[in-house]
């Protein structure tokens, strides 16, 4: 009898373990199970239960996303969430906080399927303050499903944390000091207290950021006689600019959740964010004329202050034991900003550079106010063990007011309104949306997801009280996914999706920001949304030594908007976002991820592609074809596992390419970081952009007008970060929610 039980136990163990991650690991576990079973047979005992543990592959393909499983790995020990993102396949996280997915900028970050509005340095600071010890996985969604808002074409990064059940108090605090040409500091605190049916949480951050960017522009005007075509016209202009930017920002939020019973939870979340920015720009402009040369100096002082107040009310309910769920959110947002600028241009003596006379002197203010209210509901409906439906609806209403006032100085402290450059612009937008998604796992080999999202947008813009923008359009955004997994080691995925990109509220604000009195940036109230379509084929191969990921994709961006220069009149250069036409991209990506040695982890990515952009603006044709190539590597060396001491080396290189009449130069980014863990403390010291090679270099062709530009954002620096975790690390985390005000905030940037 005992012998039969042993044989049955071994057989069942083999069947279960055969479904594990690989033959080698299954073979080892089967050998262990035989030993255990034999021991049980000898002693004449029957095992009451058997626990079989399998190991998930590091990179796992789901139906609509790639999942980077990091739980329990050395990657998360003593690290931060931002540090893990830097090593995530298909993702490139730059030093300034920008995130690219498969070479496309503007990725949206979610935490546990709840959207975060932060971007750039604010996003990096937020995620750098979050320890990764509780991190489960990072999901890379290159083509979001119909469930997500149709806004944005760069994809989604979804950060998954493990759920904790215990009650109590926990938190963390982070201090950062950064030395560039000047010094900057930041600090943040997060607190969470869970007791009984109540959970109260709050966060606070303060950032004092200073930089000294530098830029240069060389502009070559058309025609033998230069600007205007006369014999005494302008031939070229050289602009050299140095800036000093000071930005103080702060933010705080407080959330309260109450569990009515085991199935129903209600919550409130209030959020505040404010910034107070000062920017000083000094620009020398050397003009070469066919007859004589001239030199001028422009002193520009900008002050931009903004405050955002947001409120979310949420209900989350489990309607029955079958898994039906309902989420309802109401959101309200109020945003105010004031932008004051003053610009003075003096003509200088070519030899002595002393002031000769005031060439131009003006000031402007452009306050903006945005109000938004929205209501949405999401419903999860299981139709069986392997099939479920997700459906939902949303309504959102926004009101935007922009009042641009320009004044010219007529001497002393006398200012006169410039009616030609002043305007009042009001913009109202209403969006209604509904979606339906069907998910089914047909078998262990096949699964699929199909869905569609329908959005109706009504937008009206009033310029000086007159109706200038009147749009009412409805779009459908279908998505489809098919996954085939012939084994635990191999997966194939096919995806088709469509998205929309709406201009930000600031882009449609007809503001003006001057570099000199003859060069400025301007908003465009007539920008139209652009449509984005993507078709993708992916393959993931897991071996005993490494994981390989391959992806080929085609994308079409219709009615894309892009910041482009043109000659307004004579020698005045305007940079304005414009719907120039369409862009078509074809890309291929290969990713290698391996732990080469127990102390050496390597991730490398190669992205190549071919891009075509066609269209035109202001009578200037656009017809560009270009090749893309980007290579990046991220290596982590464990110097002492017991001492929690690691070293990370990051290098990214993007080769030159031409897109939308703009030749983008080579860009090389580097970072060298040492991290040390000591009890509840994590200390990081980083050297960034060691070679001062992280620059934007452009050459633009606008008809006969040619411009070369170089921008350096003061990125070569040393960064010291100290993070402290306190309280009980096992306390259940706050309940994340997908607030609609986060979607509105993303368009305030």
Is residue 297 assigned to a domain?
Answer: yes
pLDDT at 32: 44
Q: How far apart are CA 714 and CA 180, in angstroms?
A: 6
| pLDDT at residue number 515 | 79
595 sits in which H/E element: strand 572-597
Same domain as 624, residue 534? yes
CA-derived radius of gyration, the chain: 29
Same domain for 65 and 39, yes or no, is: no
- State the pLDDT confidence band at 449, using cuts at 50, 70 and 90: very high
Same domain assignment for residues 147 and 37? no
Please say whether the beta carbons of 691 and 704 come within 8 A.
Answer: no
Q: Look over the chain and give the mean of its residue pLDDT values, rounded to a whole number.
A: 83
The pLDDT value given to residue 234: 85
Which pLDDT value is given to residue 121? 59
User: Are residues 108 and 101 in contact, defined by beta-carbon separation less than 8 angstroms?
Assistant: no
Rounded to 5 degrees, φ, ψ at 126 are -65, -50
Distance of CA 520 to the CA centre of its chain: 27
Range of the domain at 6: 2-43
Integer angstrom CA distances of residue 482 from 19, 147, 511: 22, 17, 46
Q: Are residues 33 and 124 in the same domain?
A: no
Greater model confidence, 165 or 412: 412
Residue 52, domain member (yes or no)? no
**pLDDT tens, position by position, 137-182:** 888 888 888 888 777 666 888 888 776 556 788 888 888 899 999 9
**Mean pLDDT on 23-32:** 41
Interval 683-722: pLDDT, tens = 989 999 989 998 999 999 888 889 999 999 999 999 998 9
51, part of any domain: no
Are 37 and 89 part of one and the same domain? no
Query: Quick one: average pLDDT of 660-682?
Result: 91
Same domain assignment for residues 241 and 334: yes
Q: Are residues 309 and 452 in the same domain?
A: yes
Q: Give the pLDDT band of residue 448 (cuts 50, 70, 90).
A: very high
Residue 360: pLDDT band (50, 70, 90) is: very high
- Taking alpha carbons only, the member of 202, 310, 328 closest to residue 256 is 202
Which of 179-183, 228-232, 271-275, 512-516 reaches the highest mean pLDDT? 179-183
110 in the same domain as 33: no
pLDDT of residue 194: 86
Q: What is the pLDDT of residue 55?
A: 56
pLDDT, average across residues 186-194: 87
- Of 350, 344, 354, whose CA–CA distance to 517 is shortest? 344
Residue 133 banded pLDDT, cuts 50, 70, 90: low
> How far is the C-alpha of 286 from the C-alpha of 553, rounded, in Å?
46
Binned at pLDDT 50, 70 and 90, residue 117 comes out as: low
Residue 222 lies in a domain: yes
Q: Which of 162-166, 230-234, 525-529 is modeled with the greatest confidence?
A: 525-529
CA dihedral sign of residues 8, 9, 11, 12: positive
Say whether pLDDT at 1 is over 60: no
Q: How many CB atoms lie within 10 A of CB 198?
A: 12
Q: H helices within 327-443, ranges in order?
A: none
Tracing tokens 């073979």 back to the chain, one arrives at 27
Assess if residue 671 is contained within a domain. Answer: yes
Give the tens place of pLDDT for each residue, 325-338.
Answer: 999 999 999 999 88
Q: What percent of the chain has pLDDT over 90?
A: 45
Write out the DSSP string of 248-298: EEEEEEEEEEEESSSSEEEEEEEEEEEEEEEEEEEEEEEEEESS-EEEEEE
Q: Is residue 125 part of a domain?
A: yes
More confident residue, 418 or 84: 418
- Assess if residue 50 is contained within a domain: no
Residue 90, pLDDT score = 78
Same domain, yes or no: 73 and 38:
no
In the chain, the percentage of residues whose pLDDT exceeds 70 is 83
Q: Are residues 336 and 446 in the same domain?
A: yes
469 vs 223, which has greater pLDDT?
A: 469
Determine the pLDDT at residue 24: 42
Residue 227: CATH number of its domain: 2.40.170.20
Q: What is the mean pLDDT of residues 204-231?
A: 76
Residues 205 and 251 in one domain: yes
pLDDT at position 52 over 50: no
Tens-place pLDDT, residues 634-647: 898 999 988 989 99
Regarding whether 72 and 26 lie in a shared domain, the answer is no
Quick one: pLDDT at residue 163?
Answer: 63
User: What number is the average pLDDT over the span 26-52?
Assistant: 43
* SS3 annotation, 288-349: EECCCEEEEEEEEEEEEEEEEEEEEEEEEEECCCCCCEEEEEEEEEEEEEEEEEEEEEEEEC
Helix axis angle, 23-43 to 2-17, nearest 10°: 160
Domain count, the chain: 2
Which one, of 267, 388, 249, lies nearest residue 329 by Cα? 267
As to burial, measured by CB atoms within 10 angstroms (0-12 exposed, 13-18 middle, 19+ buried), residue 414 is: exposed
CA atoms within 13 A on the CB side of 667: 23
Domain assignment of residue 158, yes or no: yes
More confident residue, 682 or 324: 324
Model confidence over 462-507: pLDDT tens digits?
888 889 889 899 999 999 999 999 998 899 999 999 988 888 777 8
Alpha-carbon distance of 713 to 416, in angstroms, equals 35
């Amino acid at each position: 009898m005992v012998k039969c039980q042993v044989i049955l136990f071994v057989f069942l163990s083999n069947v279960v373990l055969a479904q594990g991650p690989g033959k080698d690991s299954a073979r080892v576990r089967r050998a262990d199970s035989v030993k255990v079973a034999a021991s049980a047979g000898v002693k004449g005992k029957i095992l009451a239960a058997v626990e079989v543990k399998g190991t998930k592959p590091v990179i796992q393909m789901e139906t609509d996303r790639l999942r980077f499983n990091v739980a329990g790995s050395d990657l998360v020990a003593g690290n931060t969430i931002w540090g893990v993102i830097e090593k995530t396949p298909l993702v490139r996280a730059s030093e300034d906080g920008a995130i690219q997915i498969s070479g496309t900028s503007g990725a949206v970050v979610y935490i546990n399927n709840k959207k975060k509005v932060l971007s750039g340095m604010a996003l990096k600071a937020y995620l750098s303050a979050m320890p990764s010890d509780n991190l489960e996985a990072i999901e890379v969604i290159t083509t979001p499903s119909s469930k997500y808002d149709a806004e944005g074409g760069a994809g989604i990064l979804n950060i998954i944390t493990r759920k904790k059940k215990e009650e109590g108090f926990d938190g963390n605090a982070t201090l950062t000091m950064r030395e560039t040409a000047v010094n900057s500091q930041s600090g943040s605190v997060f607190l969470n207290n869970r007791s009984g049916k109540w959970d109260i949480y709050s966060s606070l951050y303060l950032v004092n950021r200073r930089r000294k960017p530098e830029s240069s522009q060389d502009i070559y005007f058309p025609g033998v006689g230069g600007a205007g075509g006369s014999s005494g016209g302008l031939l070229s202009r050289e602009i050299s600019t140095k800036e000093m930017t000071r930005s103080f920002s702060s933010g705080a939020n407080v959330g309260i959740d109450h569990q009515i019973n085991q199935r129903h939870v209600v919550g409130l979340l209030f959020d505040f964010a404010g910034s107070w920015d000062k920017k000083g720009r000094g620009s020398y402009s050397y003009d070469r004329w066919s007859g004589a040369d001239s030199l001028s100096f422009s002193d520009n002082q900008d002050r931009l202050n903004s405050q955002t107040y947001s409120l979310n009310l949420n209900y989350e309910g489990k309607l029955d034991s079958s898994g039906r769920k309902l989420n309802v959110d109401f959101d309200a947002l109020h945003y105010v900003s004031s932008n004051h600028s003053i610009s003075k241009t003096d003509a200088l003596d070519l030899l002595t550079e002393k002031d000769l006379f005031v060439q131009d002197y003006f000031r402007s203010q452009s306050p903006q106010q945005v109000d938004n209210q929205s209501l949405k509901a999401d419903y999860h409906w299981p139709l069986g063990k392997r099939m479920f439906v997700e459906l939902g609806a949303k309504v959102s209403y926004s009101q935007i007011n922009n009042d641009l006032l320009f004044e010219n100085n007529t001497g002393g402290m006398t200012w006169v309104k410039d009616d030609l450059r002043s305007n009042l612009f009001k913009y109202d937008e209403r969006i209604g949306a509904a979606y339906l998604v069907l998910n089914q796992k047909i078998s262990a080999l096949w699964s699929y997801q199909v869905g569609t999202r329908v959005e109706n947008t009504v937008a009206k813009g009033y310029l000086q009280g007159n109706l200038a923008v009147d749009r009412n359009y409805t779009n459908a955004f279908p998505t489809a996914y098919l996954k085939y997994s012939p084994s635990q080691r191999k997966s194939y995925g096919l995806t088709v999706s469509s998205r929309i990109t709406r201009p930000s509220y600031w882009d449609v604000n007809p503001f003006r920001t001057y570099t000199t009195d003859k060069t400025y940036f301007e908003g465009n109230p007539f920008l139209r949304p652009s449509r984005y379509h993507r078709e993708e084929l992916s393959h993931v191969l897991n071996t005993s030594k490494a994981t390989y990921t391959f992806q080929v994709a085609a994308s079409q961006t219709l009615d894309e908007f892009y910041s482009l220069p043109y000659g307004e009149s004579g020698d005045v250069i305007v940079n304005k976002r414009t719907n120039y036409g369409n862009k078509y991209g074809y890309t291929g990506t290969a990713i290698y991820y391996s732990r080469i040695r127990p102390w050496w982890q390597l991730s490398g990515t190669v992205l190549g592609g071919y891009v075509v952009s066609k269209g035109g603006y202001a009578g200037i044709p656009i017809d560009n074809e270009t090749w893309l190539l980007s290579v990046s590597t991220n290596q982590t060396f464990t110097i002492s596992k017991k001492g929690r001491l690691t070293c990370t080396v990051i290098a990214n290189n993007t080769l030159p390419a031409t897109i939308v009449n703009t030749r983008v130069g080579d860009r090389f980014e580097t970072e060298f970081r040492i991290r040390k863990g000591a009890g509840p403390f994590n200390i990081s010291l980083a050297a960034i952009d060691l070679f001062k090679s992280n620059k934007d270099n452009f050459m633009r062709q606008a008809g006969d007008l040619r411009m070369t530009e170089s921008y350096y954002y003061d990125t070569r620096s040393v960064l010291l970060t100290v993070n402290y975790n306190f309280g009980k690390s096992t306390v259940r985390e706050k309940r994340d929610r997908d607030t609609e005000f986060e979607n509105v905030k993303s368009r305030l940037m």
